[in-house]
Amino acid sequence: MSPRVVVIGAGFGGIAAAAALLEAGFDDVVVLERAASTGGVWRDNTYPGCACDVPAPLYSYSFAPNPRWSRRFPAHDEILAYLRATADRLGVTGRVCLNAAVTSATWTGGHWRVETADGTTYEADVLVPAVGQLGNPVLPAIPGSYEGPVVHTARWRDDLPVDGARIGVIGTGASAIQLVPAIAGRAAHITVFQRTPPWTLPRPDRRYGRGRRYAYGKMPSLMLLPRAGVWAMTVVTGRAITGGRVAGALVRTASRVQRRLQVRDADLRARLTPVDPMGCKRVLFTNDWLPALTRPDVSLVTEKILETTPSGVRTADGQVHECDLLVYATGFAATDFLAGIRVTGRDGRALADEWAAGAYAHLGLTVPGFPNLFLVYGPNTNTGNTSVLYFIEHQAAYLVQAVRRLASGANPLEVRREVAAAYDEEIQQRLTRSVWASCRSWYRNAAGRVVTNWPGMASEYRRRVARLRPSDYISRNG
Ligand code: NAP
């Protein structure tokens, strides 16, 4: 018997999970996607300049290497096309129900009952929420009366007034540093509102020529070379942000040299010099962010934003910065896992109550009291330095082990509370010593608990999830 599996979300995570199950011979898989098409964040983020900030040889599934990447850091549409083509090829697309926003999932003592916004219900033995961490944009509550158009980067539209316009961009994270250089020169003026300067590094981008693509197509194993090279690079950045002295010094120096070479004006450079420790927020690979800020038609404002006025943004120095378009590059509600989905486990326990102090999950995958629930890209499985797809693939492999056990007649898999608690204690202990505990970032929830990030190297995570240990689970019927 093939257990019935409902996957929520058709982005990189959900597609990897469904593909792994199909590959393993479990074909009773439905993927429920709230939007009208597949692709997750790569469907949602279409702002000018949007591209991957992890090199494509690593930001691609290991089971679907792509010989056709046009460059090392491809643009969002190329990544979306890759993801959709892979989903088609692996038979996942046909399993996806679009416009199916899951509103609730309830464990009914033997299986999950999943309901979507239009009232349709699905029954499943296994529930796999794969909704990502960066799907729900945040617009900070800035008081005011701005009357012009407002947009979040993740909701960009092609009809926005950009050419010849005065544009205000709030935020200087991964999205802003791609957007601003892409629209500089098109806009009449861009005002960038910076609260905290990010750490940047040169982006070692390059085009992949026809010869290389041909060779990769003919001999796919050649693609392991650039993958290994990028992996090595992420090991250095990973060591740098997890306390490695040599790697830290190396990476900080590279960042300092980049600032010195790209920003000649000492005052501007000082305002762009990070104050947070490196790794507190994502280290950003870019060659054109700092040069864009030196342009005469781009200004960097570091005064605190007080409010909006009908025609612009007022900062603490009293100045009003006029704009015809206001862009929020202000990130996502990453710590609100499964926002909008009411999940109820054994004995009517709400997942929201289980997570009242902050989301947690054993191995980032499964929660006590919620049998046969396996999260993809769940709590504490985000990475600040490498490809999240690496984590996702190993979660999918763990899921396959779980489904295999269920297929062979095992009772529902419910992780032991003491196992999950010990794991969580260990992860949180390590995180309190991490760089993320010391500064404001989207990795921490309102109570200050780091709920998104994995504390170590990616290879450790792979080791931890490589084998499902039956003794971690309660053997209980229904
Ligand atoms: P983000 O990294 O969370 O950055 C949000 C920015 O908005 C920060 O600069 C933040 O300032 C600022 N901000 C937030 N509230 C503000 C307020 N009230 N007033 C002034 N400034 C405010 O968001 P993001 O740039 O969208 O990136 C989020 C994540 O998406 C990234 O870490 C990355 O994982 C992913 N991403 C990936 C790519 C890619 O290429 N693969 C591209 C874009 C995004 P503070 O720093 O002071 O908080």
Q: What string of H, E and C letters represents the secondary structure of the chain?
A: CCCCEEEECCCHHHHHHHHHHHHCCCCCEEEECCCCCCCCHHHHCCCCCCECCCCCCCCCCCCCCCCCCCECCCEHHHHHHHHHHHHHHCCCHHHEECCCCEEEEEECCCCEEEEECCCCEEEECEEEECCCCCCCECCCCCCECCCCCEEEHHHCCCCCCCCCCEEEEECCCHHHHHHHHHHCCCCCEEEEECCCCCCEECCCCCECCHHHHHHHHHCHHHHHHHHHHHHHHHHHHHHHHCCCHHHHHHHHHHHHHHHHHHCCCHHHHHHCCCCCCCCCCCCEECCCHHHHHCCCCEEEECCCEEEEECCEEEECCCCEEECCEEEECCCECCCCCCCCCEEECHHHCEHHHHCCCCCCCECCCECCCCCCECCCCCCCCECCCCCHHHHHHHHHHHHHHHHHHHHCCCCCEEECHHHHHHHHHHHHHHHHCCHHHHCCCCCECCCCCECCECCCCHHHHHHHHCCCCHHHEEECCC
Nearest CA to ligand 1 atom 20: 195
11-25: pLDDT as tens digits: 999 999 999 999 999
- Ligand 1: centre distance to CA 173 (Å): 4
Band (pLDDT 50/70/90 cuts) for residue 434 is confident
pLDDT score, position 163: 97
- The ligand 1 atom at the shortest distance from the C-alpha of residue 176 is 25
- Ligand 1: centre distance to CA 219 (Å): 39
Which domains can be identified in the chain, with CATH numbers? 5-136+334-474 (3.50.50.60), 150-328 (3.50.50.60)
Residues touching ligand 1 (Cβ under 6 Å) are 51-53, 134, 140, 153, 170-176, 178, 193, 195-196, 281-282, 305, 329-332, 440, 442
344-395: pLDDT as tens digits: 999 999 999 999 999 999 999 999 999 999 999 999 999 878 899 999 999 9
pLDDT score, position 236: 84
